[in-house]
A and B are shown apart, each in its own frame.
Chain A
Amino acid sequence: DIQMTQSPSSLSASVGDRVTITCRASQGISNSLAWFQQKPGKAPQLVLYSASKLESGVPSRFSGSGSGTDYTLTISSLQSEDFATYYCQQYYNTPRTFGQGTKVEIK
């Protein structure tokens, strides 16, 4: 199985801050990486796919980068609606695996 290591596990930030979350795969995944946002009691919502492609309807303040084993989700200017838990997922092979999540909280 490909292990996905996400960091940090939580962070506190203020509205307007730039936020970066990283995800490291235990082997190369050829940009087959998705980022999800999950709010309490809701299903995860796709934010980015193929490491850097923005899902339709997602604000452009979200961006993704990376290659090989290391990937990054960046929120350029945090908004109140962005406070949530974020997960990365590799879909390079099966079993699909997720990072452990990063909870973005209000400072």
Chain B
Amino acid sequence: QMLLQESGPGLVKPSQTLSLTCSVSSGSITSGTYYWSWIRQPAGKGLEWIGRIYTSGTTDYNPSLKSRVIISIDTSKNQFSLQLTSVTAADTAVYFCAREIRPWGQGKMVIVSS
């Protein structure tokens, strides 16, 4: 069964760049025709879709975040990544990676604070 695992710093300073990586195991990131997604959830709130990437590198971003988001993929490492620039406290959330609607990673808590 395919597993996804988020990794990266749990604390980011305001105005800096949040960087997370999603490692895919028990399956190839290039198998099938799937998009690989990032979703986030502030504490006690709902889910927000950030964006997605296809193995070809094609991306789609949420217009609300588009100016600050870059999603990239490294098929040789079976990973994809999220960069969110110019972060503020409003970007504090649990960040999930997912292969479309399933499976999801367990989530990575990221706090934006000085």
Contacts and interface: CB of A to CB of B under 8 A. Distances in A.
Contacts of B48: 98
Given A87-B46, A98-B48, A44 B104 contact: yes
Interface in B19-55: 37, 46-49, 51-52
Nearest to B65: A95
A46 B102 CA distance: 7
Nearest to B64: A95
Interface residues of B, number: 20
B37 A96 contact: yes
B102 A43 contact: no
Most buried by B among A43, A45, A97: A43
Most buried by A among B47, B52, B60, B102: B47
Interface in B65-114: 96, 100-102, 104-107
A64 interface: no
A91 interface: yes
Given A95-B49, A98-B47, A46 B105 contact: no
Interface of B: 37, 46-49, 51-52, 60-64, 96, 100-102, 104-107
Interface of A: 1, 34, 42-46, 49, 55, 87, 89, 91, 94-101
